Amino acid sequence: MIHSLFLVNASGDIFLEKHWKSVVSRSVCDYFFEAQERATEPENVPPVIPTPHHYLISVLRHRIYFVAVIQSEVPPLFVIEFLHRVVDTFQDYFGVCTEAAIKDNVVVVYELLEEMLDNGFPLATESNILKELIKPPTILRTMVNTITGSTNVGEQLPTGQLSVVPWRRTGVKYTNNEAYFDVVEEIDAIIDKSGSTITAEIQGVIDACVKLTGMPDLTLSFMNPRLLDDVSFHPCVRFKRWEAERILSFIPPDGNFRLLSYHVSSQNLVAIPVYVKHNITFREGSSQGRFDLTLGPKQTMGKAVESVLVSSQLPRGVLNANLNPSQGTYTFDPVTKMLSWDVGKINPQKLPSLKGTMSLQAGASKPDENPSINIQFKIQQMAISGLKVNRLDMYGEKYKPFKGIKYMTKAGKFQVRT
């Protein structure tokens, strides 16, 4: 399936290659570079590129292209999903997935890639199993290794691969048994000029961090499971139980994992927590434009809107912006024309605003579209859909774990057209 993998950085250098079958010359990447040149933005490189003898399937994460070389028919999503899984694993191991991190840990990277694919077919992609095979590098371990000459490679054999619960490693032990669940919801919305909602959806995930001894069997139930319209589960969740009782029953993997992602049914009206008053004008003939933006909270159920960040891609004709924020700081990059305003917390008594003028290129005609505004924000302790966890129970082990549930609402792709 996957023949070879090349890692290409932003400047177009191949800094790592790995082959699972016979060696494919790195010149195959020339086709990729060609496509990269044609694309104006890094994101515009097509994910699937046919070449005379191979097919290149690539993903772009953290400004690194992961280019897989394929020789024959294979579902492209299969490769894409796998590549993303590789990136996730690197991130899990090294904290960040940057060129420097990969280069520094090249041996671990190689060992991981070796275990993840056999002859191009995925072998072990479950993080728990991989960690049993290859220990993630930590500063402490690196030091110990150099002193004692021991290794990163686990002495244990990957017994997890054979168990009924392949996602959980065996022999887990903790002194403090804890299970944390984060319900994170994201609002995707497009708001039109007049402030009315064109489309709005809520997508949510439940991320868990479970550090429990032994083989705990957990059940999680909701107060209002009906809200969940479409769900996808971590393989540990017993699907049948969900179908029958709408209860999540599972033996969790050890550590961090995504238990569930869901979509809130579109019948429910989505509460939009912020509003934007905007007045962006360019006058014909004049080299000045006015920019006036005010943010305000709306339907937040009394919770504060925090970490607000406004960004907007201003028209090409704009040379500079001279703005005055009532709070926070703003930056304008004259090259990319990206305006971003770090607002911070919205104070309902004193609404944050950003006002001022933009100077336009002399003689340039008036831009025909106002820029759209992207907003990011966070609201703690609230799931905007109203989803509530009812209870979390543990079976199969005797100790009493510490349980915690946190709610958060974030902006997803939240866009205001102006």
Partner 1 sequence: MSTSALYNDQGGAEAAVEAGQESTPTSSGTGAAFGLFSTDFKKNEDLKEMLESNKESLKLEAMKRIVGLIAKGKNSSELFPAVVKNVASKNIELKKLVYVYLVRYAEEQQDLALLSISTFQRALKDPNQFIRASALRVLSSIRVPIIVPIMMLAIKEAAADLSPYVRKTSAHAIQKLYSLDPDQKEQLIEVIEKLLKDKSTLVAGSVVMAFEEVCPDRIDLIHKNYRKLCNLLVDVEEWGQVVIISMLTRYARTQFTSPWTENNEKTFYDSDSEEKKEQTEAKPYIMDPDHRLLLRNTKPLLQSRNTAVVMSVAQLYWHLAPKHEVNIVTKSLVRLLRSHREVQFIVLQNIATMSIQRKGMFEPFMKSFYVRSTDATHIKTLKLEILTNLANEANISTILREFQTYVKSQDKAFAAATIQAIGRCATNISEVTDTCLNGLVLLLSNRDETVVAESVVVIKKLLQTQPTQHSEIIKHMAKLFDNITVPMARASILWLMGEYCERVPKIAPDVLRKMAKTFTAEEDIVKLQIVNLAAKLYLTNSKQTKLLTQYILNLGKYDQNYDIRDRTRFIRQLIVPNEKSGALNKYARRILLAPKPAPVLESAFKDRDRFQLGTLSHSINSKATGYQELSDWPAVAPDQSVRNVEVIEPVRNPSSSHTPYHSFTSYLSNSSALLFLFYSITCIHTMSEAHFAVLVCFSDSDENGNGPVAQASSSSPESSSGSETDSEDDSDSDSLAAQKKKKSDVTTPSFGPVKTYELLHHMTGKGLSAKYHFPRQPCLYEPSMVAVQVILTNSSDHSLEEIHIGERSPAGLNIHCFNTIERLEPEASVTVSMGIDFSDSTQAANFQLCTKENQFSVSIQPAVGELLMPSTMTEQDFTKEQGKLLGMNETSATITMATANTSSQAISKQVLSVANVGVVSSSQNNFHRFAGRTVSSGALVLVSLELKESSSALLTINTEKSVMASMLLRDLKQALTQA
Footprint (CB under 8 A) of partner 1, residues 162-201: 162, 164, 166, 188, 190, 192, 198-199, 201
- Residue 288 phi/psi, 5-degree rounding, is -120, 150
**Which pair of structure tokens corresponds to residue 268?**
């429910």
Report in angstroms how near the CB of residue 276 gets to partner 1 at its nearest.
15
Please identify which residue in 173, 285, 350, 368 interacts with partner 1, judged by CB under 8 A: 368
The region of 15-23, 273-281, 293-301, 322-330 touching partner 1 under the rule CB under 8 A is: 15-23
Report in angstroms how near the CB of residue 347 gets to partner 1 at its nearest.
28
Residue with tokens 């008594």: 349
Task: Evaluate whether 182 touches 206 at the Cβ level (below 8 Å).
Answer: yes
d(CA 208, CA 221): 14
Spatial CB neighbours of 23, under 8 Å, sequence gap ≥ 6: 4
How many residues belong to the site for partner 1 (CB under 8 A)? 113
Bridge partners (DSSP) of residue 68 are 5, 57
Please identify which residue in 9, 18, 92, 359 interacts with partner 1, judged by CB under 8 A: 18
Site for partner 1 in 280-309 (CB under 8 A): none
d(CA 173, CA 387): 32
d(CA 135, CA 138): 9
Bridge partners (DSSP) of residue 160 are none
Identify which of residues 46 and 347 has a Cβ nearer to partner 1 in the complex: 46
- Our finding on whether 372 is near partner 1 (CB under 8 A) is yes
Identify which of residues 94 and 330 has a Cβ nearer to partner 1 in the complex: 94
DSSP string, 165-217: STTS-SS---SS-EEEEEEEEEEEEEE-TTS-EEEEEEEEEEEEEEE-SS--E
Per-residue interface string for the shown chain with partner 1, residues 385-414, x marking contact by CB under 8 A: ----------------------------x-
Q: In whole angstroms, how far apart are CA 70 and each of 29, 52, 114, 241?
A: 12, 12, 17, 39
- Our finding on whether 369 is near partner 1 (CB under 8 A) is yes
Q: How far is CA 59 from the centre of its chain?
A: 14
DSSP 104: H
- Our finding on whether 73 is near partner 1 (CB under 8 A) is yes
Identify which of residues 79 and 327 has a Cβ nearer to partner 1 in the complex: 79
Report in angstroms how near the CB of residue 324 gets to partner 1 at its nearest.
25
Range 390-411 burial, b when 16+ CB lie within 10 A, else e: eebebeeeeeebebebebbbbb
- Our finding on whether 214 is near partner 1 (CB under 8 A) is no
Report in angstroms how near the CB of residue 389 gets to partner 1 at its nearest.
19
Closest CA to 276 of 343, 328, 322: 343
Please identify which residue in 35, 215, 231, 408 interacts with partner 1, judged by CB under 8 A: 231
d(CA 302, CA 283): 40
- Our finding on whether 43 is near partner 1 (CB under 8 A) is yes
Identify which of residues 148 and 176 has a Cβ nearer to partner 1 in the complex: 148
- Our finding on whether 59 is near partner 1 (CB under 8 A) is yes
- Our finding on whether 203 is near partner 1 (CB under 8 A) is yes
Per-residue interface string for the shown chain with partner 1, residues 252-271, x marking contact by CB under 8 A: ------x--x-x--------
The region of 168-176, 369-377, 383-391, 403-411 touching partner 1 under the rule CB under 8 A is: 369-377
Task: Evaluate whether 130 touches 114 at the Cβ level (below 8 Å).
Answer: no
- Our finding on whether 243 is near partner 1 (CB under 8 A) is yes
Site for partner 1 in 87-126 (CB under 8 A): 94-95, 98, 100-101, 103-107, 109-111, 114, 118-119, 121-123, 125
Site for partner 1 in 312-341 (CB under 8 A): 313, 315-316
- Our finding on whether 244 is near partner 1 (CB under 8 A) is yes
Spatial CB neighbours of 186, under 8 Å, sequence gap ≥ 6: 202, 203, 204, 409, 410, 411, 412
Please identify which residue in 8, 28, 36, 55 interacts with partner 1, judged by CB under 8 A: 55
- Our finding on whether 74 is near partner 1 (CB under 8 A) is yes
- Our finding on whether 41 is near partner 1 (CB under 8 A) is yes
Site for partner 1 in 128-167 (CB under 8 A): 137-139, 142, 145-146, 149, 151-153, 155, 157-158, 161-162, 164, 166
Spatial CB neighbours of 157, under 8 Å, sequence gap ≥ 6: none
**Which pair of structure tokens corresponds to residue 229?**
């319209």
Report in angstroms how near the CB of residue 251 gets to partner 1 at its nearest.
11
- Our finding on whether 239 is near partner 1 (CB under 8 A) is yes
